[in-house]
Amino acid sequence: MRVMAQVAMVMNLDKCIGCHTCSVTCKQTWTNRTGTEYAWFNNVETRPGLGYPRGHEDQEKWRGGWRLKGGRLVPRTGGRARRLARLFANPELPTLDDYYQPWTYDYENLTTAPLGDDIPTAPPRSAIDGHPTAITWGPNWDDDLGGGPDQLAADPLLARMSEQVRLDYERAFMFYLPRICEHCLNPSCVAVCPSGALYKRVEDGIVLVDQDRCRGWRMCVSGCPYKKVYFNHATGKAEKCTFCYPRIEAGDPTVCSETCVGRLRYLGVMLYDPDEVGAAASVTDEKDLYEAQLGCFLDPDDPEVARAAEASGIPHDWVEAARRSPVHALITRYRVALPLHPEYRTMPMVWYVPPLSPVVDALTGSGHDGEDPAALFGAIDTLRIPLGYLAELFTAGDPGPVEAALCRLAAMRSHMRRVNLGEEQDPRIAESVGLDEPGILELYRLLALAKYDERYVIPTAYTGSVPDPGGTGAGCSLDGVGGPGMMPDGAEGGPGLGSDFGEFDPDAFHAPPTAGSGTSSALRGRVNLLNWNGKGRPDGLFPRARGTVRTEPEL
């Protein structure tokens, strides 16, 4: 059994208040540059709604994700030959209008407008070409159901439901859906990249774009069904959510998680069997995809799995972290988190706890006790409309798992209300959703109380042993002549003569201290002639003869 680790995320939608703090902090961190004005690696959508880019869930139009062709998985946009044939124009690429035309304001006009009767304004200007523009759409134009039924009608998920459902739905239900890149186990953006620039990292499963390898063929933009790969129109390269990998490597949560006001995001390690992914992604019935993906995940508490994980090169502290992973608990132990659009067959790894609040609100609004278990279970069952919509979102239309997850949340609410009010506890509530009392308390703790360290269980990416490619032996790099803390070698002194500092040579003072010392891989074998004082022969001025070992610089 091979084991791989993935840093995954769960978002508890009940807690999202749609404040867009995650979007704004993400943008400030990653996309506040020319060329990415329109790109939001993290965005918050109001559901039902069109989303960003508009109607991105309509795969008949955008052809993202995978499809089954004679039992085999092929990208929905077509196989390798078809993609190469369409290299010169990508027929499924969204244009800027599908996202929105980014704009700024001509603030200068406020101070430079000629004196007049009217207060000067800051008219909008296109951030792309600088011309005056009219603002007709934005990244969250239909926020809080803005735009009304006209916009809602175009929601690809609602379009799959009947007219009756649509009307009822508007009265009943609204929630927020924060979206980032799903860092899928079976990423279709990676599959359609002709250059091989997109890759999935072996260590933590983060999907990244190699900026030096990307050639701007922009297949990934259309290949991703979540439309979470963006084309930087200034650099001509694809960019996407990086899962804040520099922070994750250091054991810190992503910026969107760190700054989330509602503390609704959870980060942790999932262990999975990579050899199961292909089969799981190609099950015939879309409704089985959720269960199939659950089947790929491995239980880190199983000693067999732990042994296999360490045999597969996963560090011990990662296995430890997987055991404490809040994500693992929400996904597999309590089964309250669900994947976003499993029917795309990409095996997404950002999961969601479906929102129960709208059901409670609807119940309370109709004069019932919104936390009475009997009424709540009944309401979940009878409010078919939100349930159907959530099922379209999270389980390819199968209401079963959504209903089960909502019932578990409802049971937790009812149980905890009895605890808080000092009422008699009823073990049947927990039993009815397949949990026991400690389980319910644990789930409550995770969803309601969990502190920073419990929400974000991220092992660091340090390597346990320091690689020593030069074979120079262990020890501090400051030791010895030419180390980063040392003065450059003196012209007359030479290495090893006199003190370790050698004689100070003012000409060489501005030489980079690590040049030629072999400690900086970027500078290895290169000499900056501008810093060469003309004396001696710096190491790396001439190529080394094959087979010889690098010697100390001859000076």
Partner 1 sequence: MRHLHTALWGVLPYLTLVVLVAGTAWRYRYDRFGFTTRSSQLHESRLLRVAGPLFHYGLLFVIAGHVAGLLVPESLTDRLHVSEHLYHANALIAGGTAGLATLAGLALLLHRRLRTPAIRAATSRSDRVVYPVLITVVLAGLTATASGATARSTYDYRLGVSVWFRSLFALDPDVTAMAEAPLVYRLHALLAMALFALWPFTRLVHAFTVPLGYLVRPYVVYRSRGRGEVGAGAGRPGR
522 lies in the site for partner 1, by CB under 8 A: yes
In the complex, what is the shortest distance from the CB of residue 137 to partner 1, in angstroms, rounded to a whole number? 15
Q: CB under 8 Å, gap of 24 or more: what pairs does 84-87 form?
A: 84/194, 87/194, 87/217
Shorter beta-carbon distance to partner 1: residue 84 or 159: 84
Which residue, among 319, 322, 347, 77, has the nearest Cα to 221 in the 3D structure?
A: 77
Residues of span 43-102 touching partner 1 by CB under 8 A: 75, 80-81, 83-84, 87-91, 93, 95-96
**146 interacts with partner 1 by CB under 8 A:** no
Give me the sign of the Cα torsion angle 223, 225, 228, 232. Answer: positive
* Contact range with partner 1 by CB under 8 A, out of 196-204, 318-326, 430-438, 450-458: 196-204
Instruction: List, in sequence order, every residue forming a beta bridge with 178; answer none if it has no partner.
Output: 44
> Judged by CB under 8 A, does residue 498 bind partner 1?
no
Q: Output 171 or 215, the one with its CB closest to partner 1.
A: 215
237-256 residues in contact with partner 1 (CB under 8 A) are 237, 249
**Which of residues 123, 236, 400, 498 is near partner 1 by CB under 8 A?**
236
Minimum distance, C-beta of residue 302 to partner 1, in the bound complex (Å): 24
Q: How far is CA 161 from CA 168, 270, 389, 445, 477, in A?
A: 11, 34, 8, 36, 65
User: CA–CA distance from 35 to each of 132, 233, 243, 244, 367 (Å)?
Assistant: 19, 5, 20, 20, 52
CB of 555 within 8 A of CB of 494? yes
- Least CB distance from residue 68 to partner 1, whole Å? 14
Among 175, 176, 217, 226, which residue interacts with partner 1 (rule: CB under 8 A)?
217
Q: Which stretch binds partner 1 (CB under 8 A): 10-18, 46-54, 203-211, 487-495?
A: 203-211
Candidates 60, 108, 129, 424; binder of partner 1 (CB under 8 A) is: 129
The strand pairing partners of 10, in sequence order, are 266, 351
Q: What angle do CA 343, 345, 351 make, to 5 degrees?
A: 75
- 292: helix, coil or strand? helix
Q: Does 25 bind partner 1 (CB under 8 A)?
A: no
Instruction: Determine phi and psi for 19, rounding to 5 degrees.
Output: -85, -10
What is the x/- site pattern for partner 1, positions 457-496, by CB under 8 A? Answer: ----x-x---------------------------------
Q: How many CB atoms lie within 10 A of CB 432?
A: 16
Give the shortest CB-550-to-partner 1 separation in angstroms.
Answer: 14
Q: Which two tokens stand for residue 112?
A: 């430079």
Looking at the Cβ atoms of 87 and 478, the one nearer to partner 1 is 87
Stretch that binds partner 1, among 16-24, 173-181, 200-208, 493-501 (CB under 8 A): 200-208
State yes or no: residue 193 binds partner 1 (CB under 8 A): yes
Stretch that binds partner 1, among 216-224, 301-309, 325-333, 402-410 (CB under 8 A): 216-224
Residue with tokens 């922070």: 247
Q: From 397, 296, 433, 407, select the one nearest 354 (Cα to Cα).
A: 407
Q: What single-letter DSSP state applies at residue 506?
A: G
Say how far apart CA 509 and CA 498 lie, in whole Å.
Answer: 19
By C-beta, is 212 or 423 nearer to partner 1? 212
**Interface contacts to partner 1, rule CB under 8 A:** 75, 80-81, 83-84, 87-91, 93, 95-96, 126, 128-131, 186-187, 190-191, 193-196, 198-204, 210-218, 231, 233-237, 249, 461, 463, 521-522, 524, 526
